[in-house]
Amino acid sequence: MISIVKGYAWDGPSGPAIDTASFMRGSMVHDALYQLMRDGYLEHSYRKQSDQLLQQICKEDGMWTLRAFWVYLGVRLFANPASKPSHSKQLLKAP
């Protein structure tokens, strides 16, 4: 179970994705899980399950099955570096 509090910052679907309502919740959960992996709070071995959960949530939110499969395939093929500590993002604060 994961709880994502109001105000969690994420950048929406990444890459050459089209931002649609059916992609928002899944991308947020997926980004949070990848952040947990990057920060060492979740084992990297959960990456495939995180990618599958993205696909499942997108379908639940109305995404066409074929598009949800493309989303899954895209993260399986290209998102591995984003789940690793070396890909951590610098925390920026406004002055």
pLDDT in tens, 7-35: 898 889 987 888 999 999 999 999 999 99
Name every residue whose Cβ is closer than 8 Å to that of residue 62 and which is 6 or more positions away in sequence: 21, 22
Q: Whole-prediction pTM value? A: 0.88
Within a domain: 57: yes
Q: What is the pLDDT of residue 76?
A: 97
Within a domain: 90: no
Closest CA to 28 of 10, 15, 44, 16: 10
pLDDT exceeds 80 at position 91: no
- pLDDT category at 40 given cuts 50, 70, 90 is very high
Q: Across residues 77-92, what is the average pLDDT?
A: 84
Rounded to the nearest integer, the mean pLDDT of the chain is 92
Q: Across residues 40-45, what is the average pLDDT?
A: 95
What total number of domains does the chain contain?
1
Q: Which amino acid is at 51?
A: D
Supply the range of the domain harboring residue 30.
Answer: 21-84
Within a domain: 27: yes
* Torsion-angle region of 8 (φ positive above 0: left; ψ -120 to 50: alpha; else: beta): beta
Q: Across residues 67-90, what is the average pLDDT?
A: 90
